[in-house]
Structure 1
Amino acid sequence: MKNINNMTDQELIRIYENGDEKGLRILIDRHKSKIYTSIYMRVKDEFIAEDIFQETFIKVINTIKSGGYNEEGKFLPWVIRIAYNMVIDYFRKEKRGPTVVNSEGYDIFEVMNFTDDDAERKMVRKQTDVDLKKIIQLLPDDQKEVLIMRHFCDMSFKDIADVTDVSINTALGRMRYALSNLRRLIEEHNLTFQFS
């Protein structure tokens, strides 16, 4: 029999539907950083992001248990779409837009694996990450959203288009504008990025 950790998302959902909680636990562990990141980058608050993350999985659990899950092979985009809708609901309730995050709190760049560098390079990288986060926050929301989904959540443009309810060409265009605006903003702020 196949090792449970090597099973596909769909196989894990079937296991969970048949009463084995491990299936859901592995799915959450497998995708939690991408889902949490997609929420956090929109709400800019660690505690709100954690609440929305939990509410998202309550909805996921209820949908699966009621037999309403039918996104064959598309678990992550389906969950990110639910999280996206939960964020929209949160802002509707709060009747306010997201605020710009400061350099404290959850750091999106901590989920990425970097090679061991000497102390000076680590300091330069940390400052680069802080500067880049600030620049990304200056992008228009639709461009920022596509950039986050593509680069931090590793989503395909088709999945991004599905989640944001736009055409693939629109998603691609937003990404192109986001990258163009990032370059311009980096030049305007006289920033130099050193990536290894």
Structure 2
Amino acid sequence: MQVTMLNDQQLIARYLKGDERSFEELLGRHRQKIYTSIYLFVKDQSLAEDIFQEVFIKIIDTLRKGKYNHEGKFLQWAMRIAYNMCVDYFRRNKRRPQVSPTETFDIFDVLPMTDDNAEQSIIRSQTHEKVRQLVDMLPPEQREVVILRHYADMSFKEIAKLTRVSINTALGRMRYALINIRKMIEEKEVILQ
């Protein structure tokens, strides 16, 4: 059976039996989401790469010790490890993550897009940049929920557990984030196409 046909649990089981290719497949499946979420928190490419490597070292170590038991929720477990490592980094450095635009990495470069004509591509790129700037202007707790929900594709239950708040708090932060984005669009007369 090809490893690409296996689910995450099966890949983990095969990896623990010595099949390195299974882990490569598992890493390949989730690399982009995990790296992207780390990058959106730290906003530094080399730091994101370092934390990403630390995350997978911790994952490998936990798997090899037989301590993984998250019943088919590998991505959520890995995202929680990544989030915790980002939080630990900021605690050690006594600062909160600042999300700011960068020229070297663009979240929209890794999202699948359909082929458009040149005009549509330019409009989409400009719209994404405007939205990214608005998200960057949100308070940290609201920005965090938006990143985890829309860029890391996590449920509100997962976000609540990861950030150690109630689901209602996570939902409230998203609600206020959307309200604040709408206000900023009106105040700054931003046109999203």
Structure-2-length-normalised TM-score: 0.94
Identical residues among aligned pairs (%): 54
Q: Which residue of the partner structure matches residue 54 of structure 1?
A: 53
Deviation of the 1:99 alpha carbon: 3.3
Distance in 2 between residues matched to 1:58 and 1:115, nearest whole Å: 35
Residue aligning to 1:106: 105
Q: Which residue of 1 aligns with 2:30?
A: 31
Q: Which residue of 2 aligns with 1:76?
A: 75
After TM superposition, list the pairs within 5 Å mapping 1:8-157 onto structure 2: 8-157=7-156
- State how far apart, in whole Å, the 2-side matches of 1:105 and 1:186 are: 26
Q: How far off is 1:117 after superposition? A: 2.0
Report SS of the residue matched to 1:80. Answer: helix
Q: Distance in 2 between matches of 1:128 and 1:120?
A: 12
Range moving further from structure 2, 124-133 or 81-90: 124-133
Give the letter for the 1:139 counterpart: L
Q: CA deviation at 1:84?
A: 0.8
Counterpart code for 1:78:
W
Q: CA deviation at 1:173?
A: 1.4
The farther-off stretch of 121-130 and 10-19 is: 121-130
Distance, in Å, in 2 between the alignment partners of 1:188 and 1:62 is: 50
Give the Å deviation of 1:8.
1.3
Report if aligned partners of 2:40, 2:99 keep a CA contact under 8 Å in 1.
no
Q: Give the C-alpha shift of residue 139 in structure 1.
A: 0.9
Q: Which residue of 2 aligns with 1:175?
A: 174
2: CA distance between counterparts of 1:58 and 1:43?
Answer: 19
Secondary structure of 2:112's counterpart equals coil
Instruction: Compare 80-89 and 125-134 and name the one that shifted more.
Output: 125-134
Contact 2:41 2:99 in 1 (8 A): no
Counterpart CA distance in 2 for 1:103 and 1:130 is 10
TM-score (norm 1): 0.92
CA distance in 2, matches of 1:26, 1:100: 30
- Counterpart amino acid of 1:33? Q
Counterpart CA distance in 1 for 2:171 and 2:72 is: 23
CA shift, 1:21, in A, is 0.9
- Higher mean Cα deviation, 162-171 or 77-86? 162-171
Q: How far, CA to CA, are the matches of 2:37 and 2:118 in structure 1?
A: 30
- Provide the secondary structure at the position in 2 that maps to 1:136: helix
Is the contact between residue 100 and residue 137 of structure 1 (CA under 8 Å) also seen in structure 2? yes
Could you tell me whether the CA contact under 8 Å between 1:150 and 1:160 is conserved in 2? Answer: yes
Mean CA deviation greater in 54-63 or 177-186: 177-186
Q: Considering only aligned residues, what root-mean-square deviation do their CA atoms show, in Å?
A: 1.4
1:51 is aligned with what amino acid? Answer: D
> Greater shift after overlay, 26-35 or 116-125?
116-125
CA contact (8 A) 2:99 2:136 kept: yes
